[in-house]
A and B are shown apart, each in its own frame.
Chain A
Amino acid sequence: MGAIYILWLRELKRYVRSRVQIVVSLGQPCLYLMALGFGLGPVFQQAGHGSYLQFMAPGVVGMTVLFSSVFSGIAMLWDRQFGFLKETLVAPVSRMQIMIGRTLGGATVAVIQGTLILIICLIAGFRPHSWFAIPLAFLFVVMIAIVFAALGTAIGSVIKDMQGFQLVMNFLVMPIFFLSGALFPLANLPLAMTIITRLDPLAYGVDGLRGVLINTWHFSLAFDVALLAGIAAVFLSAGAYLFTRIEA
């Protein structure tokens, strides 16, 4: 148990100590928020869908949590080859405990990032339909964080070098973001798109966030929660399995 705690704490320390990193990683979602939020705003409004800022803010929160949690898992790649990971792999601690500590730590950092971005959205003019929605939104942030921290751990256990990392970023993480409904509504899409977006775990997270915050649902609360929980279980199992298979 002590091992899980200290590895979790380590992820938090790393986050809190890198002030530049915090600012930089919040910069990208801010850019999307500002540029697209205010840029596409008028067009979205004209199309009769209301305020684009309101629409995309939950998406931006989801995006932040996605990137932060996957990153923390993939950062294992760095640790893996010639850093800290070997120290943990050779210690008399079960792989499971190490994996849980790291994954929970990465998820916690992602939740903090998501919360910070939510605050920034509020400053930018985003207004949830009810302030009681915030705790529920938090629930979705936590679930998204766990789902993708587990995915990050699974991927981080498999890729061995920077090229793998770039492949994953461009062909997995970016599509997950763009096809999640973070930036555009999932209704009335061509059949192919509808199918693909249904396969995107983040779609359920973003829909949950958006539903809870501004009461615009594409699926439903129960459906989103159930699906996210199920996907989290699958990814956590996959992550645990792959992590225990690492040969240092």
Chain B
Amino acid sequence: MISVSNLVKKFGDVTAVDDISFDVAQGEIFAFLGPNGAGKTTTIKMLTTLLRPTSGRIELDGLDPTVKQKLARQRFGIVFQDASLDNEQTAYENMDLHGVLYHVPRKVRAQRTEELLKLFELWERKDAYVKTFSGGMKRRLEIARGFLHTPKILFLDEPTLGLDPQSRNQLWTHVKRLNETEKTTVFLTTHYMDEADRVAHRIAIMDHGKIVAQGTSAELKEQTGADSLEAAFLALTGSSLRDEGADSKDRLRQMAQMFQRR
């Protein structure tokens, strides 16, 4: 379903993604782990047509997303790390808008919206403004929205960041259910090792732009002689800190927090 060969992305002199290759089969849940600055978000951006690769090949469901952009976009859904909901509209309106943008016919839109909002336990709040939602609810709504147009692939960039254990658990239950019933391939990035361990069929660990290890959780533990995925991860990527500077996005986020009404 996803096939990446020798993918490279350079920003001037900096090589963010350095010749990575991997495959994800249909219906698989694939986790991309890595420290800060490893290149995970850059990779996802290239897979989802938000960035052009410097070189290399990507294939999504048999399509090249750099060539057939619109067609490829129809086939996947993405949930970003930062919420991309419209806070000034209701949950239902957000779902509906997504449906229009993804060319879902009206009847199907209404039906899928109801189905998904009920599955993610948001139906009671469908007419509430998203700005009144908690972080967990917003995340659930985004994921529900991502499934609306029945994508072949769902990209999740740090989907459970900042959520409490109950929300996280519930979220994965729903995602796994949809993965099983609709055979949606799921590609996720995360820092939470326990989640990757529990949820993912296969895992790739990325560091400094390269994939340092790939395989099932069991294979990775065996490879490093570790007894937990976290230990395997640390063995492969080292224990030193990865501090990054605040970029313009972080500054805006800080500004937004200042102006948020409590």
Contacts and interface: CB of A to CB of B under 8 A. Distances in A.
A81 B69 CA distance: 21
Interface string B226-262: 0000000000000000000000110111011000000
Interface string B66-84: 0001110110001010111
B213 to A, nearest CB: 29
Given A2-B100, A6-B101, A160-B248, A86 B70 contact: no
B98 interface: yes
Interface in B8-43: none
B50 interface: yes
Most buried by B among A81, A84, A90, A161: A90
A7 to B, nearest CB: 8
Contacts of B204: none
Contacts of B178: none
Most buried by A among B69, B82, B97: B97
B49 interface: yes
A6 B97 contact: yes
B190 interface: no
Interface in B56-70: 69-70
Most buried by A among B45, B69, B80, B87: B80
Nearest to A3: B101
B89 interface: yes
Contacts of A17: 88
B65 to A, nearest CB: 11
Interface residues of A, number: 28
B100 A3 contact: yes
Contact of A90 (B78, B82, B97, B103): B78
A86 B248 contact: no
Interface string A227-243: 00000000000000000
Contacts of A87: 84-86, 98, 101
A162 B84 contact: no
Given A82-B82, A83-B83, A161-B251, A93 B101 contact: yes
Nearest to B75: A92
A84 B93 CA distance: 13
A6 B100 contact: yes
B73 A91 contact: yes
B160 interface: no
A18 interface: yes
B84 A91 contact: no
B48 interface: yes
A248 to B, nearest CB: 5
A87 B203 CA distance: 27
A247 B50 contact: yes
A220 interface: no
A28 interface: no
Interface in A125-182: 160-162
Contacts of B253: 81-82
B144 to A, nearest CB: 13
Given A3-B101, A92-B101, A92-B102, A86 B251 contact: no
Contacts of A18: 88
B252 A92 contact: no
A119 to B, nearest CB: 25
A90 B83 contact: no
B68 to A, nearest CB: 10
A18 B101 CA distance: 25
B83 A82 contact: yes
A81 B249 contact: yes
Contacts of A162: 251-252, 255
B154 to A, nearest CB: 12
B51 interface: yes
B71 A92 contact: yes
B113 to A, nearest CB: 14
B151 to A, nearest CB: 11
Nearest to B252: A81
A51 interface: no
Given A3-B100, A10-B89, A161-B251, A92 B73 contact: yes
Given A6-B100, A82-B249, A83-B82, 6 more contacts: A6-B101, A81-B248, A86-B82, A87-B86, A87-B98, A94-B70
Interface of A: 2-3, 6, 10, 13-14, 17-18, 78, 81-94, 160-162, 247-248
10 A-B pairs closest in CB distance: A82-B82, A91-B101, A92-B73, A87-B84, A92-B70, A92-B74, A86-B84, A84-B86, A6-B100, A81-B252
